[in-house]
Amino acid sequence: MISMKELAQYCGVSVATVSKALNDQSDIGETTKQRIKKAAETLGYYPNAAARSLKTNKSYNIGVLFVDEANSGLTHEYFAAVLEGFKVEAEKQGYDITFINSQIGRKKVSYYDHCRYRNVDGVVIACVNFDNPEVNELLSSDIPVVTVDHIHENCSSVLSDNAKGIEVLLNYIYEKGHRKIAYIHGQNTAVTKSRLTSFYRFVENHNIEIPDSYTVEADYLNVSQAALCTSKLLEQKDPPTCILYPDDTALIGGLNEIRARNLKVPEDISVAGYDGSRISQLLNPRLTTIRQNTAAIGSQAAKKLISTIETPKTTFTEQIIVEGELLMGESVGTVDVSQ
């Protein structure tokens, strides 16, 4: 890797001119600027991180706070994919990623203190308990923050369009003739509230009578809880013809329970998931589900956070909504409307 001085010598200009060109300053000619930038790319010049930090008063380091209740870490397919989209965009704009946690070595610290210790310019927060005082301390601090799938008044948020996703999924199921639709929803989170409200609104708008026993709770990604809920639904006097699950992984628990009863999907009972995970399209039958645009969610979160870091005075606090896509699959069959 060459130095700025060597780059200046190669281009036949001063070090100051190279610095101005690479920082897009306007007091040098555009032709000279582009010639220096092209030479820097060709020769593999990269500015020294420490020097750049001193000059701009930024570390070019972004924190990621990601602590889901199941402690699944990066095996959580949905959020791992979101974070990959975030990482790609952040790195494209010259930022590195640091994971934020609650300790430095063996010393217990707050999330905020860890952010200060790592000197991050901003933080993206995804899949945490937003009732945690340490999370709220970070949200109320002077560090720029963007949240994923959670709305907070102090910062911008990027959200999958959960309400529309459920509506699109239900509309497809409704058109297949189903009226006895049960919903195994996730635990009490902003995502669940949005999906559940959309479910009840659809049912009301289409004059469908759903007994209270058709809506039950199971933790996200929890196969055993989903299986237990499926068992309770199938044992009802008037069981549903279609069951919605909180996510594609939990749905596998439902499939296991259905098959244990010698029932077939979709001939005897229809099922639909959510997330559009890779495994959903490998199962037999292929799942009917909503595929969330994880790459776009992550990319938008990175763009918004970097904009908040670099141009705080002109960046609005807003909610950015990213739509998903219906994967019709094969797990929802057609039934007689009168059934």
Q: Alpha carbon of 214 to those of 58, 74, 158, 222: distances in Å? A: 52, 32, 31, 19
| Residues forming a β-bridge with 319 | 157
Q: Residues 250-264: pLDDT tens digits?
A: 999 999 999 999 999
Question: Do 265 and 193 sit in the same domain of this protein?
Answer: yes
Q: Domain check: are 98 and 85 in the same one? A: yes
Q: Residues near 267 by Cβ (< 8 Å), separated by ≥ 6?
A: 333
In a domain, residue 255? The reply is: yes
Distance CA 24, CA 94 (A): 15
Q: What CATH number corresponds to the domain at position 142?
A: 3.40.50.2300
Q: Is residue 143 part of a domain?
A: yes
Assess whether 211 and 308 both reside in one domain: no
pLDDT score for 123: 97
Q: What does the alpha-carbon distance between residue 43 and residue 22 come to, in Å, rounded to a whole number?
A: 14
| 73 & 40 share domain | no
Q: What integer pLDDT is reported at residue 77 of this predicted model?
A: 83
144 prior amide bond cis, ω within 30: no
Assess if residue 43 is contained within a domain.
yes
Dist CA 239 CA 219 (whole Å)? 22
Same domain (yes/no): 140, 208: no
- Residue 217 in any domain: the answer is yes
Same domain, 282 and 307: no
81 and 25 in one domain?
Answer: no
301 with 155, same domain: the answer is yes
pLDDT digits (tens, 9 = 90+) for 169-218: 999 999 999 999 999 999 988 899 999 999 999 999 999 999 999 999 99
**Rounded to whole angstroms, how far apart are CA atoms 323 and 172?**
16
Instruction: Please list the rounded mean pLDDT of every run of 10 residues in the chain (339 residues).
Output: 84 88 83 91 74 67 82 73 94 91 85 93 89 92 94 92 97 97 93 95 96 96 96 97 96 97 97 93 94 96 96 92 96 85
Shared domain for 207 and 256, answered yes or no, is yes
Rounded CA-CA distance 297/295 in Å is 6
For 175-228, the DSSP string reads: HTT---EEEEE-SSSHHHHHHHHHHHHHHHHTT----GGGEEE--TT-HHHHHH
C-alpha span between 97 and 46 (Å, rounded): 18
pLDDT of residue 253: 97
Is residue 330 included in any domain, yes or no?
Answer: no
How many folded domains does the chain comprise? 3
pTM, entire model = 0.80
Residue 338 lies in a domain: no
Rounded to whole angstroms, the Cα distance separating 97 from 82 reads 14
145 & 194 share domain? no
Residue 328 in any domain: the answer is no
Same domain, 137 and 210: no
226, part of any domain: yes
CA angle, residues 304, 73, 82, in degrees to nearest 5: 30
Domain that holds residue 167: 162-292
Whether residue 307 is found in the same domain as residue 249: no
